[in-house]
């Protein structure tokens, strides 16, 4: 069965890289994520990734309490660059070619974000990892994922989390919580289900960019989403 998509934007939270650790990067989890991505690229899918930084910044939380919001946000952007480099290194070990592009200019370490160059890399079969969010404080990496997804003409934004979809309530607390198979953007916003932040959701809704929220920890889940199977929760108009 052919894939439902040709080019995807994978939003990978920093917390997903922690596994069960309190903060930092769990190497086994990163290896698992890379294997999941590799399985998708073998289908001929072009893959871009936006990575968060909460796993690293969480380790600095005590030092960051009371910090100026703009300063804290820039520190968070630097954390995403660290995660992007770790992800790129794991990809290299697994035979995948990737490029890191950053919204903040640190040219000794990563390339600056250039839209046309990112698209060319994708067309060449390389994985592009977008770091440093949008490069602006007050905007989350969810918003960066929505923005980059539209800029590179992705077919869908996939949000990889620890939970296998969007639930009516927290499944860790409520045994009766049910998973939604599909939601409209307006439902997700009105019910405040915390799929993504409101700015990202509104941007995707206005540009008709579909979203799927799924668990990156379930083996083969990313591939099943790509193949159009009933995996995670889809959000669309």
Residue ranges for the known binding site for ATP are: 11-14, 54, 58, 161, 167, 170
Q: Mind giving me the DSSP string for 199-212?
A: HHHHHHHHTT--EE
Whole-Å CA distances, 48 to 92, 93, 134: 15, 18, 15
Q: How far apart are CA 192 and CA 39, in angstroms?
A: 33
Q: How far apart are CA 145 and CA 196, in angstroms?
A: 10
Q: How far apart are CA 5 and CA 46, in angstroms?
A: 9
Cβ–Cβ under 8 Å, residues 130 and 101: yes
Name the percent of the chain in helix, strand, coil, to the closest 5. 40, 20, 40
Closest by CA position to 91, among listed 196, 211, 10, 5:
10
Cβ–Cβ under 8 Å, residues 25 and 17: yes
* Bind-site residues for UMP: 53, 73, 134-141
* Bind-site residues: 11-14, 53-54, 58, 73, 134-141, 161, 167, 170
Instruction: List the Cα angle 68/23/169 in 5-degree steps.
Output: 90
């Amino acid at each position: 069965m052919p894939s439902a998509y040709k080019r995807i934007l994978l939003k990978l939270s920093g917390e997903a890289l922690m596994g069960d650790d309190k903060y930092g990067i769990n190497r086994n989890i990163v290896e698992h994520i890379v294997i999941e991505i590799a399985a998708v690229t073998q289908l001929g899918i072009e893959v871009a990734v936006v990575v968060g930084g909460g796993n690293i910044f969480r380790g600095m939380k005590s030092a960051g309490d009371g910090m100026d919001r703009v300063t804290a946000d820039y520190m968070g952007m630097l954390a995403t660059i660290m995660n992007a480099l770790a992800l790129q290194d794991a990809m290299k070990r697994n035979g995948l070619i990737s490029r890191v592009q950053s919204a903040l200019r640190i040219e000794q370490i990563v390339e600056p974000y250039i839209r046309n160059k990112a698209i060319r890399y994708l067309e060449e079969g390389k994985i592009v990892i977008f770091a440093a969010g949008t490069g602006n404080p007050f905007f989350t990496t969810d918003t960066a994922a929505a923005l980059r997804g539209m800029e590179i003409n992705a077919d869908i934004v996939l949000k990889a989390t620890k939970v296998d979809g969007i639930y009516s309530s927290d499944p860790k607390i409520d045994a009766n919580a049910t998973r939604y198979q599909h939601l409209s953007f307006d439902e997700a916003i009105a019910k405040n289900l915390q799929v993504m932040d409101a700015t990202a959701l509104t941007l995707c809704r206005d540009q008709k960019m579909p979203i799927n929220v799924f668990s990156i920890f379930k083996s083969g889940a990313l591939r099943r989403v790509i193949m159009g199977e009933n995996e995670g929760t889809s959000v669309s108009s």
